[in-house]
Structure 1
């Protein structure tokens, strides 16, 4: 398995994920939980952001205190399900720039089809968090990373709720430099390309479209 894979097994993450897996969990609660887990995953993903020391005046005395240095993150949502993670990450990192990659999966070929792409012009100067709840076949995720690298992105982390071994292997083969942060590495894919045991289609469950 990829050396760049990190599974965040924190008890709070796993507890919230169990509610998301439950097919009786309503869409509103599903969206809330996805946002909460996204923030917890982001703590791990941003662990190594560079800091610089600046003087700050506390109520008692001046001191040297750490601030994020350089340009801040770019958050890139892989539509549509990535938007379920975006708002929560912006609450955590309000200075981040935002991009979007529009891809959908052809249900017969399981291949990604692009319909939209817009990212910050200076993406080459920013650490990028590409966000999508599911890393299943890996085809859409790899296609999104292809587009981001073509636009100049150099330091990319892929943040997802669930990953399948097949998707991790596909990403590692195509983009071995991309770090993957996930809440769970599930068992496998079924014949329809869904993660098993998984939680179903994240977009449909998030927006109540099925």
Structure 2
């Protein structure tokens, strides 16, 4: 993990992935010349690596199994396991890769859009598993910019009973980390980079542009 920028409150401890493969793929993702297909593929690959870190603390239990040679005690996930929650629409770019790694996970969706004048999150859709309170929840969105959308989504997950929550994003801004820390200090952030900050339009800089537009080929 890398040290945090001085502008990030020290009470926050996001996990910043500094693995060479992560940083290589992230650099390619940032490039303006990367095609829609390439951006989608790189996001999927990065989501696998982020999921590995986000699930590090999942509980396991011993199980007796039979290998081709003998019986042994292995370990498997215990309890209700996972729920991935995508903040629409761009969160689906991360969700797809995580489901490759954990195909049995339940899936929830929270539909939010950012008001371009106030930069506040407005909800238009929400659907979560009924037993979300019994699952470890991983909320995904490519960007943690102002933090308003992420905080609003986690507000709703907690209101539905979610307790053990991790937030996963490709990029974060110090402002978004501070916002998350102020509202949900119990939520761990897993990200590939904490960038310099936000521009006058609320976009992360240097960033990678609008993740949703780049994932789906829209403008």
TM-score (normalizing by structure 1): 0.99
Equivalence for 2:41: 32
Q: Is the 8 A contact 1:164 1:187 kept in 2?
A: yes
Matches within 5 A, 1:164-179: 164-179=173-188
Asked if 1:180 is matched to 2:189, the reply is: yes
Q: Which residue of 1 aligns with 2:198?
A: 189
Alignment partner for residue 201 of structure 1, among 195, 210, 219?
Answer: 210
User: Shift of the alpha carbon at 1:3?
Assistant: 3.2
Determine which of 103, 112, 117 is the counterpart of 2:112.
103
Q: Does 1:85 align with 2:72?
A: no
> Could you report, residue by residue, the CA deviation over 1:154-185 in whole angstroms, capped at 9, with x for unpaired residues?
00000000000000000000000000000000
Aligned length: 210
Contact 2:12 2:178 in 1 (8 A): no
Q: Tell me which residue corresponds to 1:67.
A: 76
Shift of 1:87: 1.3
Q: Secondary structure at the match of 1:16?
A: helix
Tell me the residue number matched to 1:5.
Answer: 14
Q: Matched residue of 1:140: which SS?
A: helix
Q: How far apart, CA to CA, are the structure 1 residues paired with 2:13 and 2:127? A: 27
Residue 107 of structure 1 deviates from its aligned partner by: 0.8
Structure 2 unaligned residues grouped into runs of 5+: 1-8
Q: Secondary structure at the match of 2:166?
A: strand
Structure 1: unaligned runs, 5 residues or longer = none
Q: Is the 8 A contact 1:104 1:112 kept in 2?
A: yes
Matched, 1:130 2:139: yes
1:92-131 alpha-carbon deviations (Å, 9 max, x no partner): 0011000000000011111111000000000000000000
Superposed CA offset, 1:37-93 (max 9, x none): 011011111111111111110010000111111111000000000000111101100
1:78, 1:100 within 8 Å by CA — same for their partners in 2? yes
SS in 1 for 2:137: strand
**Is structure 2 residue 36 aligned with structure 1 residue 22?**
no
Q: Provide the residue aligned with 2:6 in structure 1.
A: none
> Within 2, Cα distance between the matches of 1:46 and 1:86?
14
1:46 to 55, 71, 78: 55
TM-align CA RMSD = 0.7
Aligned-partner Cα distance in 2 for 1:206–1:88: 13
The alignment's TM-score, normalised by the length of structure 2, stands at 0.95
In structure 2, C-alpha distance between the alignment counterparts of 1:106 and 1:151, rounded to whole Å: 24
